[in-house]
Amino acid sequence: MKLAVHTEGESNRSEARQRWQAQQNSPHMEEVLRRDADVFLHQSLSSPCLTAIVKAQGIWIEDANGRRFMDFHGNSAHHIGYAHPKLIAAVKQQMDDLSFAPRRFTCEPAIELAEKLAEIAPGNLGKTLFTTGGSDAIEVALKVARAATGRFKTLSFWDAFHGAGFGASSVGGEATFRSGIAGPLLSGAEHVPPFACYRCHYKHKGPESCGIACADIVSFVLEREGDIAAVVAEPMRATPYPPPPGFWQKVREACDRHGTLLIFDEIPTGLGKTGKFFASDHDGVTPDMIVLGKSLGGGMLPIAAAIVRRDLDVCGDYAIGHYTHEKNPVTTRAALTTIQIIEEEGLVQRAAELGQYAMNRLRELQLRSPHVGDVRGRGLLFGVELVRDRHSREPDNALAEAVYYRCLEGGVSFKISQGNVLTLSPPLIITQQELEQALSVVERAILEGA
C-alpha cells in the first residue's frame, strides 16, 4: 500500500511531537516514517513527517495506524473535500476521452475553464494562463506586470507567503522561505509592514487604526519610489487576518494614482473559502490580476491560474509561462468540475453561514479563557490566538503546541501560524454537526491545556 505523508504543518518541533509519536505510532508506522526521512530532502515544514496517510475521504484523513482526523488544514486545497464522487467521475471520463494536449495545441476543457474564470472573476479580468502551482502563477503575474508597466519593482508585505520559487519568495515576506538562500533574491522587491502586525496590534491603538496607517505607508512608498510595477498581496492574510475596513480602498486609490498594478493572491482564500467567491469581494475592490491555485484542482490535481485584465494581454511576442501542462485536459476538467460543485452545492453560502457560527462560538470561548487573546477570520478560515494572558497579549507558543497535540488525539488536524495562532480551515462541505464536534475538541484542548 502506498502511503501519502502528512506533515505537522507549521514546524517540526519537538518534545511534544516525539512524545506523541512514541505513544501512538506502531512499529510499521515508525518504519514508514524512517523510510520517508531517508529518501526525501529535509526541509522546514515538511520532512521528517508526523504520520502517513492511507485514506482521504470527505473532510476526513486516515493514517496507517487507523487514526482518523477531521482535516482543518488540507494545504488549503480541500474546499470540496477529498475524493468528491462527481470530481472522480469527471476526471475518469476525461482520461478516457483525452488525457493530454501538448503545448501550442488547445482543447475544450482548457477553453471552458478559462471562459468560466472570465465569467466569475471581478471587473474586466478575462484573460488567463494556467500553471501547475500557485508559485508559478505568481511568477506569471509578475512577468505581466513588468511587461505592461515597463517597470520591475514590486511592493508587498512582510509575513506574507506567495510561493516557494525565487520570484515568489522574493515578493513574499515569510522568513522561512527567505532564509538559508545564499545570495540575493529578486531585485526591486520592496516590503512594508502588514496590516495588523504584532507591534501595531498590541502596542498601539488596535488593528483598525494600524491597518489604515499601513495603507498610508503603501501610498508613501509608491509615491517615493515612483516606479513600482505592482503591489502583490493577500486580500486576507491566511494567518488568518481580515483587513480593517477601508484598507484596500486606500491601497487601490494609491495604485491608481501612481500607475501601479494590484495583484491579489487568492490561492488560499479564493473559490468561496471566506464566504464570498473571492476574498476581495468583501472589500469592494477589484484588482488588476488574481492568482488562484490549491483548491482549484479539487484537492486532487495540481493546477493554478493567473487571471488578468483583458488590456494587460501584452506579452504575445515572448514567453511568460511555457508550462508543459498549461492546457492539460485532465487538470482543467478537474478545475472546471470543482467550480461547478462549489456553485451547485451552494458552498460559498455554506462557508459564510458556518463560519459565522464558528466565530460566535469561539468568541464565547474567548470570554471563558484568559488565554484566548483574539478570534478572527472570515467564512471557513478562522484563527484562535493563544496568549499567556489577555492583558500582556504575549504569545503562548507552548500552549499552542500542547493544544495542537491534544486536538490530534481528539481527531482534529490543523496548522499553527506565527507560533501561537490555531489556524482552522475546514472543507466547505463540512456539516454543522461535524463542525460542532471539531470545535468541541478545540475548546476542550484549550481549557485543559491552560
Kindly compute the dihedral angle of the four CA atoms of residues 327, 328, 331, 335, in this order, to the nearest 10 degrees. Answer: 30
What pLDDT is attached to residue 430? 98
Q: Are residues 357 and 330 located together in one domain of the fold? A: no
97 compared with 173, residue with greater pLDDT: 97
**248-262 average pLDDT score:** 97
Examine residue 75 and state whether it is found in any structural domain, yes or no. no
* CA distances to 393, 447, 448 from 389, in Å: 6, 13, 15
**127-131 average pLDDT score:** 97
Q: Report which of 297, 173, 287 is spatially closest to residue 238, judged by C-alpha positions.
A: 173
What pLDDT is attached to residue 202? 43
Q: Are residues 337 and 350 located together in one domain of the fold? A: no
* CA distances to 51, 88, 127 from 304, in Å: 27, 19, 14
Domain boundary among 322, 344, 366: 344
What pLDDT is attached to residue 184? 84
Burial class (CB in 10 A: 0-12, 13-18, 19+), 179: exposed
Q: With 60 as the cut, is the pLDDT of residue 8 above it?
A: no
What pLDDT is attached to residue 18? 65
Q: With 90 as the cut, is the pLDDT of residue 337 above it?
A: yes
* CA distances to 192, 256, 265, 273 from 219, in Å: 11, 10, 20, 29
CATH number at residue 427: 3.90.1150.10
The sign of the dihedral angle between the CA atoms of 232, 122, 148, 105 is positive
If one counts every other C-beta atom within 10 angstroms of the C-beta of residue 103, the result is: 12
All cell numbers assigned to 248? 484596500
Q: With 90 as the cut, is the pLDDT of residue 293 above it?
A: yes
Q: Tell me the pLDDT tens digit for each residue of 194-225.
A: 886 544 544 444 555 566 788 899 999 999 99
Q: Are residues 262 and 384 located together in one domain of the fold? A: no
How far apart are the C-alpha atoms of 371 and 421, rounded to whole Å? Answer: 12
Q: Tell me the pLDDT tens digit for each residue of 408-433.
A: 999 999 999 999 999 999 999 999 99
Q: Are residues 130 and 254 located together in one domain of the fold? A: yes
Examine residue 146 and state whether it is found in any structural domain, yes or no. yes
Q: With 70 as the cut, is the pLDDT of residue 39 above it?
A: yes
Q: What is the spatial order of strands in the sheet that 304-309 belongs to?
A: 125-131, 304-309, 289-292, 261-265, 228-233, 153-157, 189-192
User: Cell numbers 491552560 correspond to what residue?
Assistant: 450
Examine residue 34 and state whether it is found in any structural domain, yes or no. no
Q: Are residues 332 and 393 located together in one domain of the fold? A: no
**369-396 average pLDDT score:** 94
What pLDDT is attached to residue 11? 41
What pLDDT is attached to residue 214? 81
What pLDDT is attached to residue 426? 98
Note whether 169 and 179 are within 8 A (CB): no
Q: Are residues 287 and 138 located together in one domain of the fold? A: yes
* Confidence category of residue 182, pLDDT binned at 50, 70, 90: low
The sign of the dihedral angle between the CA atoms of 197, 264, 273, 162 is negative
Q: Are residues 361 and 418 located together in one domain of the fold? A: yes
Please state, for a pLDDT cut of 90, what percent of the chain lies above it.
Answer: 76
Asked, as a colleague might, if the bond just before 48 is cis with ω within 30 of 0, I would say yes
Bridge partners for 379 per DSSP? none
Q: Are residues 339 and 370 located together in one domain of the fold? A: no
Q: Tell me the pLDDT tens digit for each residue of 313-332.
A: 999 998 998 899 999 999 99
Examine residue 106 and state whether it is found in any structural domain, yes or no. yes
Q: Are residues 158 and 251 located together in one domain of the fold? A: yes
What pLDDT is attached to residue 223? 97
**Where are the alpha helices (H) located in 285-396, listed in sequence order?**
329-344, 347-368
Domain boundary among 344, 360, 385: 344
Q: Are residues 177 and 285 located together in one domain of the fold? A: yes
Examine residue 79 and state whether it is found in any structural domain, yes or no. no
Examine residue 74 and state whether it is found in any structural domain, yes or no. no
Q: Are residues 54 and 153 located together in one domain of the fold? A: no
Domain that holds residue 258: 85-344
Domain boundary among 344, 370, 403: 344
What pLDDT is attached to residue 206? 52
What pLDDT is attached to residue 309? 98
What pLDDT is attached to residue 204? 45
Query: Domains in the chain: how many in total?
Result: 3
318 compared with 290, residue with greater pLDDT: 290
Q: Are residues 354 and 335 located together in one domain of the fold? A: no
All cell numbers assigned to 70? 477531521
Q: How far from the centroid of its chain's Cα atoms is residue 101's Cα?
A: 29
Examine residue 35 and state whether it is found in any structural domain, yes or no. no
**125-147 average pLDDT score:** 97
How far apart are the C-alpha atoms of 348 and 48, rounded to whole Å? Answer: 35
* CA distances to 123, 187, 198, 235, 287 from 232, in Å: 18, 15, 21, 9, 10
Instruction: Please give the full DSSP string across 147-165, using - where no structure is assigned.
Output: HHHS--EEEEETT----SS
Instruction: Name the DSSP letter for residue 259.
Output: T
How far apart are the C-alpha atoms of 146 and 142, rounded to whole Å? Answer: 6
Average the pLDDT over each of 51-65, 170-184, 426-440 and give the range with the smallest value: 170-184
| Highest mean pLDDT, choosing among 38-47, 176-185, 243-252 | 243-252
State the average pLDDT for the chain. Answer: 90
User: Cell numbers 468528491 correspond to what residue?
Assistant: 84
Examine residue 71 and state whether it is found in any structural domain, yes or no. no
Q: With 80 as the cut, is the pLDDT of residue 17 above it?
A: no
